[in-house]
Amino acid sequence: MSNQINIGKIVATFGTQGEVILTHALGKKVQLKGIEAIFIEITKGNRIPYFISSSKAKSTEEIFISLEGITSKEMAHKLIGKQAWLGEEDFRQLAGKQSAIALLGYTIINEGVNIGSVMEVIEQPHQILLSINYKGNEAYIPLHQESLKKINHTKKEVHVVLPDGLLEIYE
């Protein structure tokens, strides 16, 4: 099974036929056209595939989705608050190149040195934090105007200049 990437969560029901609203971080207005299933985390670590009957973009952050087997508002209500995941291939197909979440799996290069791959993207009001595994520890790399040099989407690299001493705290 391919890796799965968290794209957001189910936030509400819509209508009476079991449709749900998914809030996502894909960075653009999308519908799940060509995507067979999404995975919904029913309990921690337990993701169940739900096959998509139809989807319609609501905004750049929300999608209306009809799922096979979910036919009433009551059934859909049980999914509210649950995390939604896509297979990595489906995710790469849908994620906007300019969205922060598209950096998952990219390599972080600090002043010419590979320091790790992006495991998680945490969006905050004034910066983005990229979580990497650095020397066996989870490290948070701030991404903002002062630290970001460039992003090479072809090579899947994020080039940064980190403040002195930042990486030492994770050793």
Token pair of 31, please? Answer: 């519908």
Assess whether pLDDT exceeds 90 at residue 123.
Answer: no
The rounded distance, in Å, linking the Cα atoms of 85 and 88 is: 9
- Per-residue confidence (pLDDT) for residue 64, from 0 to 100: 95
For residue 103, report the phi and psi dihedrals to the nearest 5 degrees. Answer: -80, -5
- According to the model, what pLDDT value does residue 2 have? 52
The pLDDT of residue 6 is 87
Q: Which two tokens stand for residue 18?
A: 């079991």
Average pLDDT over residues 82-111: 85
3-state secondary structure of 73: helix
pLDDT at 115: 93
Give the rounded percent of residues in the chain with a pLDDT score beyond 90: 47
